[in-house]
Structure 1
């Protein structure tokens, strides 16, 4: 990871410094530690999502930091989840993408999850249905549809991540999406989108014209 630029990351340094000032004993160097974390991970968001072992190495084992930052990340994710539950999810694309990137962008294993929506595109549930290796996750259409029927969902948003690389869909991703879309149609369900999340952002099949 390259060192952060002075202008773009001033706010990140300030945010992390303020948090570190609250959780570390007096007499330390919160700003210096914040800059070290940003040099290693790049952004404040990446710091919050960092692996505990990697984070511990950068902060030299300061347990307060290693414990507190993941808790703050989880609190932020729960806040975003609450917000996307409050209305039509399809009309809140930016909020949805921000939520999915917060949840998945730094995961080291590939996972497949589904957002189940009612007929008004309100979120019923967000569930992980499969988790695999660093570059492959088995997807079982029967399990997806069974869960949708049990939850009385009308619409689905498929989501998976590409750990450590770009979020562009592969041929396999496109084929799998079309298969799920066909099965869903037979059952009276609608696949509204498939979002792929990577370290470089996220790709929406709907916005890319693939659905």
Structure 2
């Protein structure tokens, strides 16, 4: 009878390929700072928490490639991110891929709220830089056109940022009377109109100009002033006021 323990004769299982990689990445992040990491490694760190037993480097790169960057991932639908997670990891879509997609959604939503905070704590007109940063984070990578209204009080403090309508890739219907009716409900004296161009070019269209004039006219008789209309694209933000369109 052999004295060799039964388990000793079995070949040792090779450690997973990503063994040690996670700890090395954490150490590099701690020593060099998060800012020193490229986008795919930052995304890897985020994914460690929701995907504990698989290499997440390829997944991080796949997500960035499919959605065009971190902001694109943040703007993507839960279903699209879920689909890419499952595809990259070789899963069937299910609890594991949904958990990773939800974690990413939560992280990017926190980032949007952080960007919004400075604009909501100071008069919006006096915080123009913070306002532009907020609308870009909120809308720059939205795949469909979205029309929002920032309702302000008499001191230009933000009362509410409300999505009025979501539309197609190039159109979101807007009803001027509804915009002004909502302003009266909120006791909002001033409003800023905001919408995005999914094409990436923020140049206002003829339809944008006509719609803005209708809202200005509807608000004038009820003492609701339209401060500006911002059009957000991947290549910047266009201001109607700065362009002399209102």
Q: Same fold judged by TM-score > 0.5?
A: yes
Change (3 A) 1:32 1:109: closer
Higher-RCO chain (CA-CA 8 Å, sequence separation at least 6): 1
Specify the alignment match of 1:41 in structure 2: 67
Given that residues 153 and 159 in structure 2 are in contact (C-alpha distance below 8 angstroms), is that contact kept between their aligned partners in structure 1? yes
In structure 1, how many angstroms separate the alpha carbons of the residues matched to 2:82 and 2:119? Answer: 32
Specify the alignment match of 1:184 in structure 2: 219
Q: Name the TM-score, length of structure 2 as normaliser.
A: 0.74
Specify the alignment match of 2:16 in structure 1: none
How far 1:47 sits from its partner (Å)?
Answer: 1.6
Specify the alignment match of 1:22 in structure 2: 49
Q: CA RMSD in A?
A: 2.1
Is residue 2:66 matched to residue 1:31? no
Specify the alignment match of 1:121 in structure 2: 156
Given that residues 202 and 237 in structure 2 are in contact (C-alpha distance below 8 angstroms), is that contact kept between their aligned partners in structure 1? yes
Q: Which has the higher helix share?
A: 2
Q: Secondary structure at the match of 1:85?
A: helix
Q: Secondary structure at the match of 1:153?
A: coil
Given that residues 167 and 200 in structure 1 are in contact (C-alpha distance below 8 angstroms), is that contact kept between their aligned partners in structure 2? yes
Given that residues 106 and 164 in structure 1 are in contact (C-alpha distance below 8 angstroms), is that contact kept between their aligned partners in structure 2? no
Unaligned residue ranges in structure 2 (runs of 5+)? 1-35, 87-92
Is residue 2:206 matched to residue 1:149? no
Is residue 2:194 matched to residue 1:167? no
Specify the alignment match of 2:124 in structure 1: 89
How far 1:66 sits from its partner (Å)?
Answer: 1.2
How far 1:10 sits from its partner (Å)?
Answer: 5.1
How far 1:127 sits from its partner (Å)?
Answer: 1.2
Specify the alignment match of 1:205 in structure 2: 240
In structure 2, how many angstroms separate the alpha carbons of the residues matched to 1:33 and 1:138? Answer: 37
Unaligned residue ranges in structure 1 (runs of 5+)? 1-8
Q: In terms of Rg, which structure is larger? A: 2
In structure 2, how many angstroms separate the alpha carbons of the residues matched to 1:42 and 1:156? Answer: 32
Q: Secondary structure at the match of 2:242?
A: coil
Give the total of aligned pairs. Answer: 202
Q: Secondary structure at the match of 2:137?
A: helix
Which shows bigger deviation, 152-161 or 42-51? 42-51
In structure 2, how many angstroms separate the alpha carbons of the residues matched to 1:39 and 1:131? Answer: 26
Given that residues 101 and 197 in structure 1 are in contact (C-alpha distance below 8 angstroms), is that contact kept between their aligned partners in structure 2? yes
Given that residues 75 and 143 in structure 2 are in contact (C-alpha distance below 8 angstroms), is that contact kept between their aligned partners in structure 1? no
In structure 1, how many angstroms separate the alpha carbons of the residues matched to 2:76 and 2:166? Answer: 19
Change (3 A) 1:76 1:116: same
